[in-house]
Amino acid sequence: MLDYPWSSIAGGYALPPRKRAKWLAADSGLKAFELPDTTAGRRRMIERLDRRALSEELKQCGVPPQNAGADARGSHLRRGWFWGTQAFGEAMRKLAGNSIKKRQPRSRNYQGEPHVAAHGMQQAEAWLEQGLGAAGLTRSGLAELKGSDIRKLLLADLLWRRTTASQAWLAERLAMKSAANVCQQLRRLNRNKALTQATPAFQAFFKNCTSS
């Protein structure tokens, strides 16, 4: 248990009172096992937890078993979420290369099932086409516009927030250089101010999409 530093055991229960966080009610936890908050009591609690961890069957804990020859330094986890921007996630995937699966966790609040993602991309394609028309733009003309063009940014903002489109996809479709650039531009965007500079047709399109 002490080998795992991100728990309340190594960073709390194993430490004397003066060295652990004041908010951690370790004494109450120890009392639940009828153990004193002393060096011996804390040691007994850790030993108890170690025995429990060794005796539990992995399949009952929700942990998939690893092959005997697997590198213990690697994680057994294959699904989950990352905390950060889409650009950060894509940068980490590039560093990992082929060591991770193609299907990756997403940082937004929707399920990653294939049928949900497919529907989201269909919506993204449809709204992109409609938005370009409402903004008076064509796909072929996007490359001639700056990445900071208000019409591009409003479309990127809409599709990023309301569909499953990635920032890499937005960068490619809207000619905005890279996912990192899309991320940076969206962080700077003042949506309400930008909308006042859009055409009435685009404002109506944007409002219709965000109210659906």
- pLDDT tens digits, one per residue of 56-66: 655 555 555 55
Q: What is the pTM of this model?
A: 0.47
Q: What is the pLDDT of residues 134-192, one digit of tens each?
A: 999 888 888 888 888 889 999 999 998 888 888 888 989 999 888 888 888 888 889 99
Contact (Cβ atoms closer than 8 angstroms) between residue 57 and residue 65:
no
From residue 212, give the alpha-carbon distance in Å to each of 154, 203, 205, 207, 209.
Answer: 17, 14, 11, 9, 5
Domain limits for position 169: 114-211
Quick check: 197 pLDDT over 50?
yes
183 in a structural domain: yes
In a shared domain, residues 201 and 122: yes
Residues 121 and 202 in one domain: yes
